[in-house]
């Protein structure tokens, strides 16, 4: 496989500019004022296809594992059109970019497998190199022209300059001519609707963002440097620090964690209330300490990973790290159990679902960390990528706001104004089909407030119907919310 360099990108400047320019137009069509419509998966597919064209042009062999990343990115793209939740829109973008960077790093790395730390470092480095490469389309163009023959360059530069000047003048002159003559306007009148000044700048900057970002990303990839896998990676796996240091502090932590875990098993899981402090009920005991346990679990995972990387292999250290890992799993279960008890008392919110999901993922990650203690050549980064990707895709398709609304409406003995306010103002449109049922139940539970519920739900649904949605910006969750709004308001009008 050929080695990717910046010089290769410069030599293929014309191809790069054409390819990125076409991508910029697709990017603009798909995403201009439309970050979650049905065209979003089209943009994801265009990004993948453009990346494949780039790698083939650069002589990079595309491996089979690239298809796995492609499927995951496309699923996240589809998920974006299935929900109206801003949270998932943002994190779907982040997930797609992370998957794209990881996939490309695996394709262009000539040295073989990377360990966990090297993957993280290369992702951060690629992000930084992409940022510092945003001017490369201009810099590479200058270099490309300097490398061309003088006779050709002296014609190319004036032509490009003339085209740019004409484009700038037409932006001002053509609208004036259209407004000055009706016959002329009949031929070019469509131009003014497409090229309104505000709209034009928006389209231009969207195109520029897509064009520059994809070019800078490819340029950043070409700047990546991979150390020889045989030497550097083996050393990283074995570690080079005396394990006595690790045994010392790991032994102390393990002893404290074992004692803490025994307390969790006896007093939280087995509900041994006889040992609780005076004046503290089991409910009060169970509801406290969740966030502290979550933070300790995260610290323990990082600590174990560092110990695996930097210390020389040692049986005693392995045993102590395994004890810490098992105790971390108990702490994670303790945090999850406390959250479940809290949900039973105060019902669901989006954040509580997210926390429970995170704790489940954390537990699965911990299993991989424990296996990497036993086998140091275990591909931990790939394991974590698979776990996080699969679990997140499942979460993004689950319509969390709708599930939260369904659970709460089913379990609320009666619905208060605060409960309705949460459903209306704190949930995305994913919950809209459930809200009508909530309003009906609220009116039934508290008939004297029937008019209050009716007015608030009606206003909520009218706001949904007021939001315009074109074919390009069509979103499944928004369409479903509009259908629910039409149905509810129709029934409302019929009752009146």
Tens-level pLDDT at each residue, the chain (496 residues): 567 888 889 889 999 999 999 999 999 999 998 999 999 999 999 999 999 999 999 999 899 889 999 999 999 999 999 999 999 999 999 999 999 999 999 998 866 677 788 888 899 999 999 999 998 998 888 877 776 655 455 555 666 666 667 777 766 676 667 666 666 666 555 555 554 555 677 888 899 999 999 999 999 999 988 654 444 444 444 567 888 888 998 999 999 999 988 988 887 777 665 555 666 655 556 566 677 888 888 888 888 988 888 888 889 999 999 999 999 999 899 888 888 888 887 889 999 899 999 999 999 999 999 999 988 788 889 999 999 999 999 999 999 999 999 998 888 877 777 777 888 888 899 999 888 777 666 666 666 556 666 777 888 899 999 988 888 999 999 999 999 898 888 776 666 5
pLDDT for position 378: 87
* pTM, entire model: 0.83
Residue in the structure block whose two tokens are 């270099």: 143
Distance separating alpha carbons of residues 96 and 382, to the nearest angstrom: 16
Distance separating alpha carbons of residues 4 and 110, to the nearest angstrom: 9
Distance separating alpha carbons of residues 262 and 283, to the nearest angstrom: 19
Structure tokens at 208: 């520029």
pLDDT for position 275: 55
In degrees, rounded to 5, the angle at the alpha carbon of residue 169 between the alpha carbons of residues 166 and 171 is 110
Burial of 468 (0-12, 13-18, 19+ CB in 10 A): exposed
Structure tokens at 6: 């910046």
pLDDT for position 233: 42
Structure tokens at 454: 């009716």
Residue in the structure block whose two tokens are 């991508």: 23
In degrees, rounded to 5, the angle at the alpha carbon of residue 96 between the alpha carbons of residues 92 and 99 is 135
Angle at which helices 315-346 and 350-374 cross, to 10°: 170
Structure tokens at 451: 């008019």
Longest dimension (CA), the chain: 94
pLDDT for position 128: 93
pLDDT for position 228: 44
Residue in the structure block whose two tokens are 């796995």: 68
Structure tokens at 116: 């966990």
From first CA to last CA, the distance across the chain in angstroms is 73
């Amino acid at each position: 496989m050929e080695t990717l360099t910046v010089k290769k990108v410069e030599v293929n400047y014309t191809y790069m500019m054409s390819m990125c320019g076409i991508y910029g137009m697709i990017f603009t069509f798909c995403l201009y004022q439309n970050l979650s419509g049905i065209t979003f998966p089209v943009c994801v597919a265009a990004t993948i296809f453009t990346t494949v064209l780039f790698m083939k042009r650069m002589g990079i062999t595309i491996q089979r594992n690239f298809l796995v990343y492609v499927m995951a990115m496309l699923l996240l793209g589809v998920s974006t059109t299935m929900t109206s939740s801003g949270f998932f829109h943002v994190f779907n973008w982040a997930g797609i970019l992370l998957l794209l960077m990881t996939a490309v790093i695996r394709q262009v790395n000539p040295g073989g497998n990377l360990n966990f730390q090297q993957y993280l470092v290369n992702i951060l480095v690629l992000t930084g190199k992409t940022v510092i490469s945003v001017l490369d389309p201009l810099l590479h163009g200058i270099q490309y022209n300097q490398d061309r023959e003088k006779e050709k360059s002296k014609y190319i530069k004036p032509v490009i300059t003339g085209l740019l000047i004409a484009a700038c003048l037409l932006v001002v002159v053509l609208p004036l001519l259209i407004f000055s003559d009706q016959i002329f306007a009949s031929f070019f009148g469509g131009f003014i609707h497409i090229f309104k000044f505000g709209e034009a700048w928006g389209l231009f900057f969207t195109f520029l963002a897509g064009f520059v970002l994809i070019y800078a990303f490819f340029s950043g990839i070409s700047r990546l440097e991979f150390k020889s896998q045989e030497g550097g990676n083996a050393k990283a796996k074995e570690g080079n620090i005396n394990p006595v240091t690790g045994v010392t502090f790991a032994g102390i932590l393990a002893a404290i964690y074992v004692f803490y875990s025994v307390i969790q098993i006896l007093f939280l899981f087995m509900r041994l209330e006889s040992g609780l402090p005076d004046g503290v009920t089991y409910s009060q005991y169970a509801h406290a300490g969740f966030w502290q346990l979550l933070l300790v679990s995260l610290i323990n995972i990082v600590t174990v990973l560092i110990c695996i990387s930097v210390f020389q292999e040692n049986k005693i250290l392995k045993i102590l790290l395994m004890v810490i890992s098992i105790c971390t799993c108990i702490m994670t279960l303790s945090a999850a159990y406390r959250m479940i008890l809290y949900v039973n008392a105060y019902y669901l919110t989006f954040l509580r679902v997210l926390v429970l999901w995170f704790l489940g993922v954390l537990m699965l990650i911990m299993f991989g960390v424990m296996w990497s203690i036993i086998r140091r050549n275990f591909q931990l980064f790939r394991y974590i990528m698979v776990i996080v990707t699969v679990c997140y895709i499942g979460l993004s398709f689950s319509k969390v706001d709708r599930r939260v609304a369904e659970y709460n409406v089913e379990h609320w003995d009666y619905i208060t104004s605060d409960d309705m306010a949460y459903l209306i103002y704190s949930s995305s449109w994913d919950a809209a089909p459930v809200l009508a049922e909530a309003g009906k139940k609220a009116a039934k539970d508290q008939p004297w407030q029937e008019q209050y519920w009716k007015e608030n739900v009606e206003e909520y649904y009218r706001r949904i119907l007021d939001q315009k949605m074109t074919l390009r910006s069509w979103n499944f969750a928004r369409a479903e919310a509009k259908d629910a709004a039409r149905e509810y308001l129709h029934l409302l009008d019929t009752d009146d």
